Structure 1
Amino acid sequence: MMAKYLARIVISGAQSIGKALAKTVREEIEVYREAARVHAAQSATNFTPSKTDAALNGMTLEEAQLILNVKDVLDRAEVEQQYRHLFHINSKTAGGSFYLQSKIYRAKERIDQEIKKIEALAKLQAKSESK
């Protein structure tokens, strides 16, 4: 009698775990598909900064990220915080150099330019999806 209840408990637990596992796998597949869709959309519109962008602006996006020490250019709060901090500590009154200040300014300018591109791309995609 006790073995019968124990077997039911084990089977019920196994079914619950199986359902949870299947749900997790479906969610992971959906996330993967969404990431692939976003990547394809970015590739189709040549989102990545080109060498001509770097030549025109004098700085690549990667250089700008390194100068401001930010990982994600879309995190505006972090970019703004790093910019203000670095710009302030490199002011002449703080014993810094104008050269470093100008590099920091150009890095922020380059990141802002990239954000504008991303926003314009998002608007275009939103318009095309709404049609």
Structure 2
Amino acid sequence: MAHRLVAQVVVTGARVFGRAFGEAYKQAQAKGKYAAAAQKGNSGTVNTYASSGLTLDEACKILNVKPPQGGEANLESVMERFKKLFDMNDPQKGGSFYLQSKILRARERIEMEVREAERKAAMDKELREGWNPKVYKDR
């Protein structure tokens, strides 16, 4: 009877371990494919996962704000939500450091998206209008 129980425990443990290993392998494969696509410069996958594994959609959901439209976001509302949620999750007040970290990363992700859009808009403007250096004259 004991040998049956031991065999059953070993078989069940092997199944659980096998499934976990299989899932980890699938995730590693997907991450490798994603990294390869991002390295090649696929515009559909680049920069969606840039800041600590958060997509822009996830960051907006965490802070409960609307995603930036055309690279413009209401950064005041983002900062207001960030401060409120960050203070609510202060570990010294009984909050969660993990949630506080997620909130911080979400704000950084949204800000990064807005900065990238501003940089691209400035570059496009410069290409359209040409480069006009500022010249300072001595008096």
TM-score by length of 1: 0.58
What is the CA distance between 1:55 and its match in structure 2? 5.8
Structure 1: where are the runs of 5+ without partners? 1-45
Percentage of pairs with the same residue: 39
- Structure 2: how far apart are the matches of 1:49 and 1:90? 34
Where in structure 2 are the equivalents of 1:42-57 lying within 5 Å? 50=45, 53-54=48-49, 57=52
The answer on whether the counterparts of 2:63 and 2:107 sit within 8 Å (CA) in structure 1 is yes
What is the CA distance between 1:57 and its match in structure 2? 3.3
Worse-matched range after superposition: 50-59 or 65-74: 50-59
The answer on whether the counterparts of 1:49 and 1:61 sit within 8 Å (CA) in structure 2 is no
What is the CA distance between 1:95 and its match in structure 2? 1.6
Q: Which residue of 2 aligns with 1:58?
A: 53
What do the CA deviations read for 1:19-62 (whole angstroms, capped 9, x no partner)?
xxxxxxxxxxxxxxxxxxxxxxxxxxx9x762564166311000
Pick the structure with more helix per residue. 1
- Structure 1: how far apart are the matches of 2:81 and 2:58? 14
Structure 2 residue identity aligned to 1:89: M
Of 66, 75, 92 in structure 2, the residue corresponding to residue 71 of structure 1 is: 66
Total equivalences in the alignment? 85
- Structure 2: how far apart are the matches of 1:49 and 1:59? 15
Structure 1 vs Structure 2 CA RMSD: 2.2
Q: Confirm or deny that 1:95 pairs with 2:79.
A: no
Instruction: List 4+ stretches of structure 1 deviating above 6 A.
Output: none
TM-score by length of 2: 0.55
What do the CA deviations read for 1:57-104 (whole angstroms, capped 9, x no partner)?
311000000000001431010000000000000001222100100000
Structure 2: where are the runs of 5+ without partners? 1-40, 131-139
Q: Which residue of 2 aligns with 1:128?
A: 127
Structure 2 residue identity aligned to 1:108: R
